Amino acid sequence: MTRARTFGLPLPGTPGPLNAITDVPGVEVGVTTLISGDGPLRPGEGPVRTGVTAVLPRGRADATVPCAAGMYSLNGNGEMTGAHWIAETGALTLPVLVTNTHAVGACHRGAIAWAHRERPDGREWALPVVAETWDGYLNDIDGDHVRPEHAVAAIDAARGGPVPEGSAGGGTGMNCYGYKGGNGTSSRQVRYASRTYTVGTFVQANFGTRAQLTVCGVPVGAALADDNPMQDTDWLGLAGAGSVIVLVGTDAPLLPGQCTALARRVPLGLARTGTFGQHSSGDIFLAFSTANPGALTSGFPTGEEDYETMRFIPWNRIDPFYEAVVQSVEEAVLNALLAARTMIGRDGHRSPSLPHDRLKSLLTARGVL
């Protein structure tokens, strides 16, 4: 699998060993990928090009232990369930699921089923976080192919280690800058006092038009304008339409408001790849911190002197973490584009892969490579 650094892109910052969100200790990622059928659309039968990605901030062992969290919406033409409770409490509990737009309900039900299976004696209340982008250009999106059991399977498959990129999980049917898009991830190490912390990002990339594409500061999109089936047909007037979901995780101790501040820096990393956040795009971001595991429990007090405490990075020392978000988001998008391969879906719709050789030539001519 080709990634930005193996391709030779001179990207700033120091990544973790995996250069993935799973460099954050405890974070696990799993996918369920659904690919079947070819030819004309037969609603309810396929072709199917979709799936589910599960991100577990504390892994399965501690999945119900809250994390400090905050979210930010650059453009609201999309969905992330559970956002109101995160805004209210600053806490994230349970796995985060990312899928296609019309599968949010199935994944929400699946997350609840998984939680009840894991803790049958637990409380009968849950507000899962499920986010989405639209894969209807390649997928029979109205066919209800993603079922609750697929969400459960993605959570059960979650592990540390390398993260599947490109056409995997929820990113299976996604497009980015007129090329095949999907899942991407990256990480950065941040030195603070005597500790080294990790900031990791995961993107489900499904946004942008070909003309916008920028790589390492070079606007390459115009030179790659050909072989752009979605733009050429302007299918349903949706050329360039789409969304992007970004999850940011860190083991640095942060307040919920500081997690929100990290989420607000995500658009700066996306902008480095060329997008300006189109009206037709749902651009929604969530950041969480795995530090302070005993806080934000919303538990009932046991006495008048019962308090929760949190340790956090001082606000005036947080800038290196902002920088890490921007750098890792840019690289995660490029990893998604470089990893994805050409896919043909419903009605013969084709999403071409980013042409590596042509990109390399363009960047070499500009002195980047």
pLDDT value for 305? 59
* Structural domain contains residue 81: yes
Residues of the chain with pLDDT under 70: 122-124, 233-241, 299-305
Enclosing domain of residue 123: 4-294+312-352
Backbone angles phi, psi at 171, to 5 degrees: -85, 5
Q: Say which DSSP state 20 is in.
A: S
Cβ count within 10 A of residue 112: 19
pLDDT value for 313? 98
* Structural domain contains residue 358: no
pLDDT value for 238? 61
Provide CB contacts within 8 A for 42, sequence distance 6+. Answer: 140
pLDDT in tens, 220-245: 999 999 999 988 766 555 666 689 99
* Structural domain contains residue 303: no
What CATH number is associated with residue 89? 3.60.70.12
Could you tell me the two tokens for 323?
């920088």
Measured CA to CA, the distance from residue 337 to residue 348 in angstroms comes to: 21
Residues serving a catalytic function are 243, 281, 283
If we measure between CA atoms, which residue out of 102, 131, 91 comes closest to residue 297? 91
* Structural domain contains residue 307: no
* Structural domain contains residue 365: no
Could you tell me the two tokens for 358?
């042509």
* Structural domain contains residue 10: yes
Q: Give the H/E segment covering residue 111.
A: helix 104-118
Measured CA to CA, the distance from residue 111 to residue 96 in angstroms comes to: 9
Cβ count within 10 A of residue 136: 22
pLDDT value for 1? 87
Provide CB contacts within 8 A for 305, sequence distance 6+. Answer: none
Number of domains in the chain: 1
CA distances, 29 to each of 52, 59, 162, 201, 366 (Å): 11, 8, 9, 12, 37
Measured CA to CA, the distance from residue 34 to residue 366 in angstroms comes to: 40
pLDDT in tens, 43-88: 999 999 999 999 999 999 999 899 999 999 999 999 999 999 999 9
Measured CA to CA, the distance from residue 264 to residue 359 in angstroms comes to: 30
Could you tell me the two tokens for 127?
């507000």
* Structural domain contains residue 134: yes
Could you tell me the two tokens for 246?
């970004």
Query: Helix 148-156 to helix 104-118 angle, to the nearest 10 degrees?
Result: 50
Query: Is the separation of the CB atoms in 313 and 158 below 8 Å?
Result: no
Beta-strand relationship, 179-180 and 182-192: unpaired
pLDDT value for 234? 62
* Structural domain contains residue 100: yes
